[in-house]
Chain A
Amino acid sequence: MAEKKYLEKYPRSPARTLWVLKPVGKVLRMLGKTVIHRPVTILYPYEKMWMPENYRGRPGLRFDRCVACGMCVKMCPTACIKLVDTENDSGEKVRRPQVNIGRCAMCGYCAEYCPVDAMTVTPEFELAEYTREDLIYGPKRLVYEGITEKMEIHLEETLMSDVENGNFERRISPFMTDRPVLEAAKCISCKKCEKVCPVKAVTMVEHGVNEKGRPILYPEFNDDTCICCMNCVEDCPKDALHINEVL
């Protein structure tokens, strides 16, 4: 039987009229303690609390690693991320995420679901600005210096089939296993999947010609470079693609 630490000790005597000495004693002891040592509070703007490295402050971005797959846009619960056009160091036009910190809920989903670990969490939490426009963090501003390994959040999952096989120590992320599959009957060879793929994992392969003499193109997926961003699945006009979930 479990003991009850508090209920077995209290209440002892019900009638304690004007019994105020013990709390006064407690209070005086705390007074003495805080006069000798310092109180437990900190002077906030001058001193700051210790924060662990994985503290979920604003999102941070590794500009070079990002492939603009839009996974963060899809997963954001508050819809505060969108992809905008910008330029990288060598002047090429690229698309990178922009975060509206005013709407951001600091849930860390963008970092968790980033297939290439380009989005991270950062311990930066002082985000007040004077205007709402200032709260919108463009891709360049989103870059955080000094991203360490702990700030990346990896999506480490275990397959239920692995547990049954006794291989329970293996950790996979869905971006490694889940791959798009084609229902060839629905495909109309529009090449849209090839266009939207951020990592160029889709190649259109010719499978003969149709009755009008046009080539029939079916997409083929490079399983090594695919990051399972689901852009092709979502943009397919005929719903010919779906993700094969490995469980």
Chain B
Amino acid sequence: MTYSSILDWIQFGDVMSNPFYPYQTYNLPFDIGYKLWEIIGGLIAWLINLIFPGNGVSTWLISPEVSNMFALVLFMVIIFAVAFVVTLISLWMERKVLGRIMDRRGTMVGLKGFMQCIADGLKTFMKENTIPKKVDKMTYMWTVSLIIGTSVLIACMVPLSPRWFVVNYGTGLLVIMALFALAPFFILVSGWAQNNKYSLIGGMRAAELMISYEVPMLIMIATTCLLAGSFNINDIVNMQSDTVWFFIPQIFGFITFIFCATAEAERVPFDIAEAEAELVEGWQTEYAGMKWGLIMLADYMRGYVSCAMVVIMYLGGWLIPFVSEGVNGWIPEIVFLLKVWFVFFIMIVLRGALARVRTDQIVNIGWKVFMPLSVVNFAVVLLLKVGGVF
């Protein structure tokens, strides 16, 4: 093959024909990453070839193996960037909507206040990285890394559409749930490591919170999976496309799951782990500056994932109602995100309207209200399934 012009270097090939393509089906972000690399790598290869004609590096750069490797890197960046921007928009929406609810204006800096999120992020990053003297330094650092890490991981792992996913697991919902449930353990350890009584109580409360909502939540996930016949997210959504959206057969489950998701994201009615009235910032008390900023970001990422789970399990994922499947193919990602933001809006309104519950009340609610409701929900679905409706 001869490379005479720049266009020869930029091949713009089909991603599926790459022999090292990691997925079975078409993946949009990978395709974007692949094409981006073909432009960037092609340009680099062309430049090197101009200076040292006929070298091996240029051809190596655009070979399918290397293209695939760099495409994977770009793919990660794209996935993270989208999750990050979605989180920032959620944050902005919370500030604006909450402000309007409270009869004030919310943030006002640039782009209707959106730039305030970025300004705040930059501010926390520019602060001094302080570590209190008497904390257990190693535990203090690695727990916060893991809390942020797991949160970012699940935020990136949420598929936005059949073509926008990281890994198409057979057990997708379970994996997300498992990673989700990891963070409270790290919060517990982090609360202990900070050598602060507020953090300690906050960490204990995070564990208490988890035992109260996790069981009903898992029952409801099992119910949905039973209804769909699969743990795979794609299958669940396809099942909703074939029949009805699952919030119709399991209306109890839907309402309960919204509350459980709120608890999962540690948002206001259930944010007992960082109850600022009695425990200053709960388990985050000793974290300052960049660490705190990242924890905040991770919190909102968890909120985003909770909403995404509600959307996947009950609101038909990326489906548009009353529209044939041909139209569905256009913008499933946008549809999915709009639904996510709608669920997040419900959470914001709950935050505006409700007060924080007490620790014994959350256990009471979890085991005496959510648990029976989820079991009733399970029974209804079981009857429907046995009766052959689904």
- Is any CB of A less than 8 Å from a CB of B in the complex? yes
Binding site for B on A (CB under 8 A): 17-18, 20, 23-24, 26-28, 30-31, 34-35, 39-41, 43
Grouping DSSP codes into helix (H, G, I), strand (E, B) and loop, the B interface class, with mixed when no group exceeds half, is helix
B102 contacts which chain A residues (CB < 8 A)? 30
Given A31-B97, A31-B100, A39-B353 contact (CB < 8 Å):
no
Could you tell me the distance between the alpha carbons of A23 and B351 in the complex, rounded to whole angstroms?
11
Looking at A30, A31, A41, A43, which has the most chain B CB atoms within 10 Å of its CB? A31
Which of under 10, 10 to 19, 20 to 34, or 35 or more describes the interface residues of B? 10 to 19
Binary flags per residue of B344-380, CB closer than 8 Å to A gives 1, else 0: 0000011011100000000001000100000000000
Q: Are A35 and B100 in contact (CB under 8 A)?
A: yes
Binary flags per residue of B282-303, CB closer than 8 Å to A gives 1, else 0: 0000000000000000000000
Binary flags per residue of B96-108, CB closer than 8 Å to A gives 1, else 0: 0101111111001
Could you tell me the distance between the alpha carbons of A17 and B369 in the complex, rounded to whole angstroms?
9
Given A17-B369, A18-B365, A18-B369, A27-B104 contact (CB < 8 Å):
no
The 6 closest A-B pairs by CB, nearest first: A23-B353, A27-B353, A34-B100, A41-B104, A24-B353, A27-B352
CB distance from A204 to the nearest CB of B (A): 68
A35 contacts which chain B residues (CB < 8 A)? 100
Could you tell me the distance between the alpha carbons of A176 and B10 in the complex, rounded to whole angstroms?
98
CB distance from A197 to the nearest CB of B (A): 57
Task: For A41, give the chain B residue with the smallest CB separation.
Answer: B104
Task: For B108, give the chain A residue with the smallest CB separation.
Answer: A43
A18 contacts which chain B residues (CB < 8 A)? 365, 369
B352 contacts which chain A residues (CB < 8 A)? 27
Q: Are B103 and A40 in contact (CB under 8 A)?
A: yes
CB distance from B96 to the nearest CB of A (A): 10
A26 contacts which chain B residues (CB < 8 A)? 353
Could you tell me the distance between the alpha carbons of A26 and B101 in the complex, rounded to whole angstroms?
9
CB distance from B263 to the nearest CB of A (A): 14
Q: Are A30 and B101 in contact (CB under 8 A)?
A: yes
Q: Are A27 and B101 in contact (CB under 8 A)?
A: yes
B97 contacts which chain A residues (CB < 8 A)? 31
Q: Are A39 and B350 in contact (CB under 8 A)?
A: no
B369 contacts which chain A residues (CB < 8 A)? 17-18
Looking at A23, A26, A35, which has the most chain B CB atoms within 10 Å of its CB? A23
A24 contacts which chain B residues (CB < 8 A)? 349-350, 353
Task: For A17, give the chain B residue with the smallest CB separation.
Answer: B369
Looking at A20, A34, A40, A43, which has the most chain B CB atoms within 10 Å of its CB? A34
Q: Are B354 and A20 in contact (CB under 8 A)?
A: yes
Q: Are A27 and B103 in contact (CB under 8 A)?
A: no
A23 contacts which chain B residues (CB < 8 A)? 353-354
Q: Are A31 and B101 in contact (CB under 8 A)?
A: yes
Could you tell me the distance between the alpha carbons of A34 and B100 in the complex, rounded to whole angstroms?
6
Could you tell me the distance between the alpha carbons of A90 and B108 in the complex, rounded to whole angstroms?
52
B365 contacts which chain A residues (CB < 8 A)? 18
Q: Are A39 and B354 in contact (CB under 8 A)?
A: no
Task: For B269, give the chain A residue with the smallest CB separation.
Answer: A20
Beyond A30-B102, A35-B100, 17 additional contacts (C-beta under 8 Å) are A18-B365, A20-B350, A20-B353, A20-B354, A23-B353, A26-B353, A27-B353, A28-B349, A30-B100, A30-B101, A31-B97, A31-B349, A39-B105, A40-B103, A41-B103, A41-B105, A43-B108
Given A20-B350, A23-B354, A27-B353, A39-B108 contact (CB < 8 Å):
no
Looking at A24, A27, A30, A34, which has the most chain B CB atoms within 10 Å of its CB? A27
The one of A17, A20, A31, A43 in contact with B105, judged by C-beta atoms closer than 8 angstroms, is A43
CB distance from B179 to the nearest CB of A (A): 29
CB distance from B372 to the nearest CB of A (A): 12
Could you tell me the distance between the alpha carbons of A39 and B104 in the complex, rounded to whole angstroms?
5
A31 contacts which chain B residues (CB < 8 A)? 97, 100-101, 349
CB distance from A212 to the nearest CB of B (A): 81
Looking at B104, B105, B350, B365, which has the most chain A CB atoms within 10 Å of its CB? B105
